[in-house]
Structure 1
């Protein structure tokens, strides 16, 4: 099913209650369970990923289907490996194409026992939960940070603790920092020196917690304001000024695309300044989830760009590099890539297709990064639009408040 977006006759300045961070929500659910916390987490995300994890924690079953929830798959694989019992975990067709061997190999080396039920290196998995020995382990730093975060959170309950030596370049460093900060909130302080993280043997202490709003979700409103007329503003509510979320880099990066932001007691005010850079360059190794937002934003602002550090985009909900090339081409943009970790646009644009339907590839970020484009083109459609429930279920309702028509 697809929806058709139509450019509004009049654009409304809106106040948006952003969704809670699913990255924080899912980490807190694991830490809450490990600490046997009596406290309910306040303002939990209502995203599909968080719902999938809640379903597992409330289940009396030993077989779990977590759908397309990547964070849930990785965190639960590690968590269940230390919970005594036999468990199986699977997911959607795409989830069964997303590699997990780095995490499984690591857990097996640390004293766990996990088997592949079908294709080697991919879900579904059979997990034989038991106490883990732990110790020292080398793990690639340029894989998904969720593998590393999954290991870190169960590290205190390993017999020898856990020492991770991160080899090569470290991707999504802020997400690891977020994990360590949340662990510290629950009473376990780790030591991160150079490329080595040491997790002591310890017990988490229950604490009352509240989830802040999601900076990744905020990025689509920065894009929206960037496409709006000069002086247009939007107010975003629920964001933490001193957030540990890596995607809080959105605020600084969007200055180059003409959006200034300022915190007040009401929230974060975004305003279009009309002042943009002539060339946008950034390495997204620390913020890979922002790559789609910035590729689409820069292209439709007519700003040539060079985006690097995108190597993890190929193992996300879809191959995001390929998806961006395909969908931007429908609008006439000739984007170049080395098919590994970069996207480049020199400014070449041809005539756009007619009756454009943007494919989303079951990827929530494809839908949300292209939606604001309606301010730059009269009308187009977005296929499978409800993929946004993965992280931002009220996205379309919020977009309509601005005056955009959706059929």
Structure 2
């Protein structure tokens, strides 16, 4: 499927109900299960990832397919490793290319028994669930925070708890802080000093909880606000003091001319007109915002240099390469060391203004949502596989129509 986008300039005020955070929702689902809670989670995400997680936790089967849900794959691998039984878990073709060896090795070191059913180091997995024994464990700090969060959440439920030492640089700290804060809400205290996180053996307490709305989803509205000075956007459901590291998007976009105002009526975004001449930022703690900021900077003709992008290569796609490929179609020539940085010095190349510009999404929801606002500057944008947005923001196309970004099914043969 393809969507051809059109822009009918919107002015004035619009109000947007943001989706719930899937990062928080998926953690709450696991903690709910570990506490044997009888309560339903309020404002639970309706994203594909959360549906995948919920489907497994409510299933009577022993074989599970989580599709493209990376968070679910990591969290459930840890969860199933301590549930007595024999389990199999698999996912999409891309999921089978996303490494999981670090987590599997750690769980096996704790007494788990997990085998690879196909390629060494990658899903699908066969898990022989049993009682795990905790104690000392060491992991690199620069691995996916989802591996570490998965281990932390099961830590109180295993014998001796866990004393986890993270070596080297620790990335995505806000996600780990989010995990520990939610664990505390369920009655489990932890201690994080330096590179060591200690979680004692204990018992989670059931609790009525509500998931926050998603700051990552808010980033696309900041992009639209930056590109359309005549539009005032009111975002519903965000918390000023948030567990989500991506709430830092409000500070980033101050440099791109967007002001944030919080009130009881919601979070108001408005254009203040001033912008930086060059944007430099280390995304080590907010990697999911890199695509939004890269596209926005290019569309605003603001050169940039991003660092801290090492996890982007193992996301839904290699996001560094994907950004370089698709922005090049719009005439922007980006550079990267192909490890952890991305930059644009203002260099452009020619593009066809008459032919449709086909943006590939690589089965990555954030590619679709970050590139859709490009229609505000380029009138011939076509989005391939537009419904990838259901992974985190199912109502995205409906919502952006209120900002004048209209979409309709289209078929273009290259």
Aligned 8 A contact 2:110 2:133 in 1: yes
Matched with 1:15 is 15
1:180 aligns with 2:158: no
Root-mean-square deviation over aligned CA pairs: 0.9
- Structure 1: segments with no counterpart, 5+ residues: none
Deviation at 1:379, TM superposition (A): 2.6
What is the CA deviation profile of residues 164-211 of structure 1, one whole-angstrom value per residue up to 9, with x for unaligned ones? 100111110000000000000000010000010001000000010001
Residue 374 in structure 1 maps to residue 375 in structure 2: yes
Which residue does 1:113 correspond to in 2?
Answer: 113
Aligned to 1:362: 363
* Matching of residue 345 in structure 1 with residue 344 in structure 2: yes
Shift in Å at residue 10 of structure 1? 4.2
In structure 2, the partner of 1:45 is 45
- Alignment partners' CA distance in 1, 2:117 and 2:378: 47
Distance in 1 (CA, whole Å) between partners of 2:80 and 2:10 is 52
- Distance in 1 (CA, whole Å) between partners of 2:11 and 2:73 is 40
| 1:29 corresponding residue in structure 2 | 29
Given that 1:7 and 1:377 are in contact with CA atoms closer than 8 Å, whether structure 2 keeps it comes out as: no
Please give the secondary structure, in 2, of the residue aligned with 1:139.
strand
Contact kept, 8 Å, 2:25 with 2:211, in 1: the verdict is yes
Measure, in 2, the Cα distance between the counterparts of 1:50 and 1:9. 34
Correspondence 1:284 to 2:283 = yes
Matched, 1:217 2:229: no
Q: Using the alignment, how far apart are the partners of 1:28 and 1:68 within structure 2?
A: 20
**Conservation of the 8 A alpha-carbon contact between 1:145 and 1:172:** yes
Deviations 1:67-89 (CA, angstroms, capped at 9, x unpaired): 00000000000000000100000
CA distance in 2, matches of 1:395, 1:272: 22
Shift of 1:384: 0.1
**Bigger mean CA deviation after superposition, 315-324 or 350-359:** 350-359
Measured against aligned partners, the alpha-carbon deviations of 1:352-391 in whole angstroms (never above 9, x if no partner) come to 2331010000000000000111111223100000000000
SS of equivalent to 1:271: strand
- In 2, Cα distance between equivalents of 1:283 and 1:111: 37
User: Is 1:265 matched with 2:246?
Assistant: no
Task: State whether residues 10 and 231 of structure 2, in contact with CA within 8 Å, keep that contact through their aligned partners in structure 1.
Answer: no
Alignment match, 1:242:
241
Corresponding residue of 2:59: 59
1-structure distance, mates of 2:38, 2:276: 50
Shift of 1:49: 0.4
Q: In structure 2, how many angstroms separate the alpha carbons of the residues matched to 1:125 and 1:94?
A: 15
Match of 1:192 in 2: 192
Change (3 A) 1:337 1:95: same
Alpha-carbon separation, structure 2, partners of 1:273 and 1:367 = 27
Give me the whole-angstrom Cα distance separating, in 1, the residues matched to 2:327 and 2:76. Answer: 35
Match of 2:151 in 1: 151
- Report SS of the residue matched to 2:160: coil
Deviation at 1:9, TM superposition (A): 4.3
Q: Is the 8 A contact 1:7 1:379 kept in 2?
A: no
Q: TM-score, normalised by structure 1?
A: 0.99
Tell me the secondary structure at the aligned position of residue 388 of structure 1: helix
Partner of 1:390: 391
Structure 2 residue aligned with 1:320:
319
1:344, 1:357 → 2: CA distance? 22
Partners of 2:275 and 2:377 in 1: CA distance: 16
**1: distance between equivalents of 2:246 and 2:311?**
16
> Structure 1 residues 11 and 382, CA, compared in 2 at 3 Å: closer, same or farther?
farther
Matched residues in 2 for 1:215 and 1:295: separation? 17
Residues 205-225 of structure 1 show CA distances to partners (whole Å, capped at 9, x for unaligned) of 001000110000000000000
Q: Deviations over 1:238-275 (max 9, x none)?
A: 00111010100000110001100010111100001111
**1:13–1:402: 8 Å Cα contact kept in structure 2?**
no
Give SS of 1:126's match. Answer: strand
* Inter-partner Cα distance in structure 2 for 1:184 and 1:169: 25
